[in-house]
């Protein structure tokens, strides 16, 4: 454990919840520090909520957070975690961006939870750093800032930047910090307090396995879907999918209809349309670019297929 003289160091942790943040992501960020303090003989973490002003900060659910201080005040922190939700691609608060850059220059380690990493990236604070973000925002963020080094993992610590996919993954990141500061045995005690019997490693996957998502364990179908997910912007033909799965096109179609209830190419189209819906909700990209990014030749053809599939036009998701 890190000490100052004979006393344990008390880490100063700031949390910046932005309007529309997810309560689970917020709780998973702050609760491990509260439990660590409770299980220790001395305070190990001083956690404060920071606002843009002194007003309550509304979550996306039924709760709000009251800030103890604001970005307008002088604050000395060891860590600052931005907890965000909603559509971070549309967030453009220059005052927040400048404040984050300023405290970073003074040695504060910056973290992002859920959509928070996208806020750090838009502020220009993730350049040259490995990072992660909630899978819902990863593709949109890549479209806007293609130079970013995004990993599809639970969390990433790269020097003075800590990014996390959100939800319960924040619990694993904070437990990892507790382990770094006070040892794995103590971190396990904190983890057990939340019935979280195993601290997941940073490289853990964000989503369930492909078989669980597709709803089939058939090797041929999984091979074909892997190929589909790798070729969203430039769709391949049924013949190419069959070649990748080492089966004839006719047999591949038969398997898809038997196991998933639709033809191979209909499944492929629905996959691309769902990707397009995600980009509509989570990115500021124009319709034409979204159509091209998901493999549709033009926006009118895309809009027609989209409207038939979802029952409303793309504009209904903006």
Same domain, 244 and 159: no
Res 4: pLDDT? 37
CATH of the domain at 71: 3.40.50.880
**Residue 202 belongs to some domain of the structure:** no
- Shared domain for 268 and 142, answered yes or no, is no
Do 161 and 222 sit in the same domain of this protein? no
Residues 164 and 308 in one domain: no
Q: Does 225 lie in the same domain as 82?
A: no
16 lies in the same domain as 137 = yes
Number of structural domains (the chain) is 2
Distance separating alpha carbons of residues 287 and 303, to the nearest angstrom = 9
Low-confidence ranges of the chain (pLDDT < 70): 1-7, 201-209, 318
In this structure, is residue 121 part of a structural domain? yes
Query: Looking at residue 304, which CATH number applies to its domain?
Result: 1.10.10.60
Domain contains 198: no
pLDDT at 318: 66
Same domain for 269 and 149: no
Domain boundary among 160, 193, 226: 193
Neighbouring C-beta atoms of residue 250, cutoff 10 Å: 10
Q: Could you please report the per-residue DSSP string of 130-195? A: EE---HHHHHHHHHH-TT-EE--BSEEEETTEEEE--TTHHHHHHHHHHHHHH-HHHHHHHHHHTT
Residue 165 to residue 150: CA distance in whole angstroms: 11
Please report whether residue 131 resides in a domain: yes
Residues 112 and 156 in one domain: yes
223 and 187 within one domain: no
Residue 236 DSSP symbol:
P
Domain boundary among 167, 193, 219: 193
Q: Are 124 and 131 in contact (CB under 8 A)?
A: no
Query: Same structural domain for residues 19 and 162?
Result: yes
Residue 201 lies in a domain: no
Is there a domain that residue 293 lies in? yes
Q: Which of 159, 193, 227 is the last residue of a domain?
A: 193
Mean pLDDT, rounded, of the chain: 88
pLDDT tens across 200-236, in order? 766 566 665 677 778 888 888 988 888 888 788 888 8
Domain extent, residue 273, equals 210-317
- Pick from 246, 248, 253: nearest CA to 223: 246
Domain identity same for 228 and 168? no
């Amino acid at each position: 454990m890190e000490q100052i003289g004979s006393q344990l160091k008390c880490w100063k942790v700031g949390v910046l919840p932005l309007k529309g943040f997810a309560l689970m992501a917020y709780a998973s960020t702050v609760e491990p520090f509260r439990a660590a303090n409770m299980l220790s003989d001395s305070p190990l973490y001083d956690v404060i909520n920071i606002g843009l002003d002194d007003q309550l900060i509304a979550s996306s659910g039924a709760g709000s957070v009251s800030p103890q201080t604001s970005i307008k005040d002088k604050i000395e922190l060891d860590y600052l975690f931005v907890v965000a939700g909603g559509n971070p691609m549309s967030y453009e608060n220059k005052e927040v961006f400048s404040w984050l850059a300023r405290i970073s220059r003074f040695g504060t380690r910056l973290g992002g939870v859920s959509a928070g990493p996208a806020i750090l990236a838009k502020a220009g604070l993730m350049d040259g750093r490995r990072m992660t973000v909630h899978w819902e925002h990863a593709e949109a963020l890549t479209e806007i800032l293609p130079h970013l080094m995004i990993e599809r993992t639970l969390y990433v610590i790269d020097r003075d930047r800590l990014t996390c996919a959100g939800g319960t993954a924040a619990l694993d990141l904070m437990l990892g910090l507790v382990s770094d500061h006070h040892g794995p045995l103590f971190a396990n005690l904190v983890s057990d307090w939340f019935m979280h019997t195993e601290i997941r490693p940073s490289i853990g996957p964000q989503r369930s396995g492909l078989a669980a998502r597709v709803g089939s364990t058939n090797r041929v179908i999984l091979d074909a879907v892997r190929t589909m997910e790798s070729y969203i912007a430039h769709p391949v033909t049924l013949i190419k999918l069959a070649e990748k799965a080492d089966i004839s096109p006719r047999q591949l179609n038969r398997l898809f209809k038997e196991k998933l209830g639709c033809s191979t190419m209909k499944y492929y189209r629905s996959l691309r349309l769902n990707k397009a819906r995600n980009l509509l909700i989570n990115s500021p990209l124009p319709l034409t670019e979204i159509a091209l990014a998901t493999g549709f030749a033009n926006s009118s053809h895309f809009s027609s297929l989209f409207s038939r599939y979802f029952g409303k036009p793309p504009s209904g998701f903006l």
